[in-house]
Structure 1
Amino acid sequence: MSVEQYQRTVNSLDKEIAELEKKKAAADKKAADESKKAESVSISKNASATTIKSKLNEIDRHNKASNKAATESTEFGKKIADKRAKRNDAYLKLQKEQQKEQKAQQKVMDNIKKEYENRIAELEKQSIPSAITYNPTTDDVNSIEQYDVFISHAWEDKEDFVDELYNALTALGIKVWYDTSKIKWGDSMRKKIDEGLKKSKFGIIVLSPNYIAENKYWTKIELDGLFQLESINGKTILPIWHHLTKKEVTEYSPIIASKLAMTTATMTAEDIAKEMLELIPKVSG
């Protein structure tokens, strides 16, 4: 069974135990109430035989009701003990499964970290970044625009956040490489991305669930390129967390998770743009 299944079992047993305890408490109350009623029945010395018989029957009814409720309480107690034993067993199994899952997650994280560390080590040995393949032949190199930042993002996040960030950055005079404005119909996407990476001083990564999805080829290409630029040319990666937790970022890339990052959870696009305006001159200086 999985952690989720064991947790559901524990939750279900907790609910059943709570219901049984309510029923037991009600049975205990009824037993006590009926016992008091039996004790409260009084028979006067001058009562007739008929009255005495009636009073004794009333006492008998209350005693029987009290005994029945006490028996039910005992049965509920047995069921509660049985459920608690099952619950304790399920909880122990849940803890073992959680520990097992945590070890598996830690192993995955260790493997990811090792993979990135190996990747960075390989890149540091290279004299020229392998992902940066674009070599202009017909363009005048000196006329190619230099950008302050390159925005690496998933296209699904454009309307939600990235378009707004781009507008906020450019409004402050920051030169931004952004694929909607720099890639024209018929252009080679890979060439243009390579060009943008090479000609940008810093790389902004908008990390989101869409960005780290398994099927995201281009975001991985851009991230590899940014890692190469940072490791070889000393350029800086500036992460922004968008709808992601620290745990999710760490699972995707421990290296990125270790970097100082901004988050859309507490900052607007304008706030982030102002921070970037302050940060870029400081880093470049």
Structure 2
Amino acid sequence: MSVEQAQRTVNQLHKDIADLEKKMAGLVKKEADKTKRIGVVQKSITKNTSVSMLKNKDRQIQGYQRDLARLISDKASINNKMAEKRAKLAQTTVKLQKEESSRAKNIERQQNSIYETYEKQIAELSEQVKLQEKFAISDKNVFDSSTEEEYDVFVSHATEDKDSFCDEFVNILKNEHHLNVWYDSLNLKWGDNIRTEIDKRLIKSKFGVVILSKSYIKKYWTNYELEGLFQRETNIGKLILPIWHDITKQEIQNFSPSLAGKMSMNTAIMTPSEIAEKLNELYSSSKERPETER
């Protein structure tokens, strides 16, 4: 039984018990009325009451007593029903508490897993930087890409989202807006070291477009790219441009509150062409500002 089903059952049992209590109150009122009537008839009998009148009053009393017997039987039946409902309510409440506790533990495990992934990625990035500093040759290492091509946009995405959005979006950026885009399908070559290539291209890109989806938040490489972008943004300012793709705000909030707080584009309400146009406008305005203002 799910939390929702258990909650619905608990709500219905509370309603059923309330209805039975209302019926019980009505029966108690009727019982008091019948008892009062019997008392009134009994008091009306005196030594002067005729035999025929006495018989009539005795019939009245017997009728009220039969009514009382039915009322007492109905009360007993309702009491039994209420006892059954209350027992079932107690059992269902225990189940509901267990289901809520289980759900809370699952959410806690998921959050802990996300935090552990973050910590692992940060540790890996730190270790990577240490290794590159340790094995630097003269004044150049894999991060020293002064001779490498610079890119306007680095597109961080999950492979599962290529067909539904990424390929079309990148094609519009390159062919319609003539932006220099780093996109793994276009730039990674057979035999390239993926980690090294990502590190170099992140440093040489003006903006990092992050296409957030259900697949994106689960993958190692996308999280690796995101950590790199966050580190660069800490040093140089605005860099990360989020796009929500088939994902809810709550899912992003659970994954990264800092990303959830950023102004984002959303494929649910905008076409690839419209989002590409917004990016081109942002890129054009950034070129007009002096370097020191960025």
- What range is the shorter-chain TM-score in? 0.5 to 0.7
Match of 2:25 among 28, 44, 62: 28
Q: Does the residue aligned with 2:64 lie in a helix, a strand or coil?
A: helix
Structure 2 counterparts to residues 1-12 of structure 1, below 5 A: 8-9=5-6, 11-12=8-9
- TM-score normalised to the size of structure 2? 0.61
Q: Deviations over 1:9-43 (max 9, x none)?
A: 45534433432332343343355457657878998
Q: 1:75 to 1:192 in 2, by over 3 A?
A: closer
Q: Deviations over 1:219-243 (max 9, x none)?
A: x435535644774797833222223
| Structure 2 residue identity aligned to 1:15 | Q
Native 8 Å contact 1:123 1:231 kept in 2: no
Structure 2 counterparts to residues 132-281 of structure 1, below 5 A: 147-163=151-167, 165-166=169-170, 169=173, 171-178=176-183, 182=186, 188=190, 194=197, 198=201, 200-213=205-218, 220-221=220-221, 224-225=224-225, 227-228=227-228, 231=231, 236-249=239-252, 251-252=254-255, 254=256, 257=259, 260-264=262-266, 267-269=269-271, 270=273, 272-281=275-284
| Structure 1 residue identity aligned to 2:155 | I
| Structure 1 residue identity aligned to 2:244 | W
| Structure 2 residue identity aligned to 1:224 | Y
CA drift at 1:118? 1.4
| Structure 2 residue identity aligned to 1:157 | D
Q: Does the residue aligned with 1:273 lie in a helix, a strand or coil?
A: helix
1:111 aligns with 2:116: yes
- C-alpha distance in structure 1 between counterparts of 2:171 and 2:35, whole Å: 84
| Structure 2 residue identity aligned to 1:260 | K
CA drift at 1:115? 1.5
Q: Residue 137 of structure 2 aligns with which residue?
A: none
Native 8 Å contact 2:156 2:225 kept in 1: no
Q: Which has the larger radius of gyration?
A: 2
Identity of aligned residues (%): 22
- Which shows bigger deviation, 12-21 or 34-43? 34-43
CA drift at 1:55? 4.3
- C-alpha distance in structure 2 between counterparts of 1:12 and 1:267, whole Å: 38
- C-alpha distance in structure 2 between counterparts of 1:258 and 1:191, whole Å: 31
- TM-score normalised to the size of structure 1? 0.62
Number of residue pairs the alignment of both structures matches: 263
- C-alpha distance in structure 2 between counterparts of 1:177 and 1:113, whole Å: 25
Native 8 Å contact 2:24 2:78 kept in 1: yes
Q: Residue 62 of structure 1 aligns with which residue?
A: 67
- Measured on the aligned residues, the alpha-carbon RMSD in Å equals 4.9
Q: 1:121 to 1:267 in 2, by over 3 A?
A: farther
| Structure 1 residue identity aligned to 2:153 | V
1:122 aligns with 2:127: yes
Q: Does the residue aligned with 2:15 lie in a helix, a strand or coil?
A: helix
Q: 1:243 to 1:37 in 2, by over 3 A?
A: farther
- C-alpha distance in structure 1 between counterparts of 2:101 and 2:113, whole Å: 18
Higher relative contact order (CA 8 A, sep 6+): 1
Q: Does the residue aligned with 1:212 lie in a helix, a strand or coil?
A: helix
- C-alpha distance in structure 2 between counterparts of 1:207 and 1:189, whole Å: 28
- Which shows bigger deviation, 164-173 or 192-201? 192-201
Native 8 Å contact 1:209 1:243 kept in 2: yes
- C-alpha distance in structure 2 between counterparts of 1:189 and 1:150, whole Å: 20
Native 8 Å contact 1:203 1:238 kept in 2: yes
